[in-house]
Amino acid sequence: MTSFHALAAGLLLLAGCALPAGEPATPQRPTFCFGPTTTAAGSFELEAGAALGPPDAYAEIPATLKYGVDERTEVSASLSPLISLDHTAGLGDAGLAWRHRFVDADGARPAVALLASLKLPTADEDRGLGSGHSDAFAGVTAGGSLGRFGWIAFAQLGALGQAGEDADLERDLALCGSWTLDSVNALFAELSDRSVAEQDSHVGQLRLGHAISVRPDLILDWSVWLPLTQDAPETILAVGFTRNFGRSP
């Protein structure tokens, strides 16, 4: 696992480099859900890190580059340059996503956004690193805050590609709560549920974590993902960062 540790350390070093200050970061990691907040207009933002499961069973280096199209719209591209499953390592799947907030938060009224994404089968199916098929998702997310407490409710449906057959339907639900301790530290907890009836799969997880605001444009995170159902993966530890690089010249 040395290569995973080295790459993760390199990503964290990149995040902390003495680069010009950017816009306030809008992390969507490391939760299962996505919130209605979008990347600042005209700015690029990088999310990256590492997720480690039981030794030699699972490890991944996910990375997502986001761009704020306008004050309410974001597009992103994601890739796992390295994933390891059961002693087999290689390139993971890629993805494209779009999110648009059509209601802004106003007092007790939450923000609401629509989202859509496409998974591209760049991982090697023959080596067990991916399904080998494209998947499409569409959903809605809402989020608000009350003092130091914040919340996000998320729901989406996905069409999972199948060779020569109708797509399987995936249903995803999640509820996330966060508590801001001070100007630097915040804690979060999330319950998520992913179900695919055609595959008799039901994955429930509890994610507990800590976000650290090094400065407005750089947020570090660490979390533990705990299984709640038999189909869920074993306990996973995730670390990473979100770094906004500022508006384009």
Asked if 168 contacts 162 with a C-beta cutoff of 8 angstroms, the reply is: yes
For residue 14, the model assigns a pLDDT of: 53
In which residue ranges of the chain is pLDDT below 70?
1-19, 164, 248-249
Using DSSP, how many helices (H) and how many strands (E) does the chain show? 1, 13
Measured distance between the N- and C-terminal CA atoms of the chain, rounded to whole angstroms: 39
Asked if 65 contacts 96 with a C-beta cutoff of 8 angstroms, the reply is: no
Q: Rounded to whole angstroms, how far apart are CA atoms 90 and 82?
A: 5
Q: Rounded to whole angstroms, how far apart are CA atoms 144 and 69?
A: 22
110-127 per-position pLDDT tens digit: 999 999 999 999 988 888
The pTM of the whole model exceeds 0.85: yes
Write down the residue that tokens 């805050």 correspond to: 145
For residue 249, the model assigns a pLDDT of: 66
* CATH architecture of the domain with range 2-247: Beta Barrel (2.40)
For residue 156, the model assigns a pLDDT of: 98
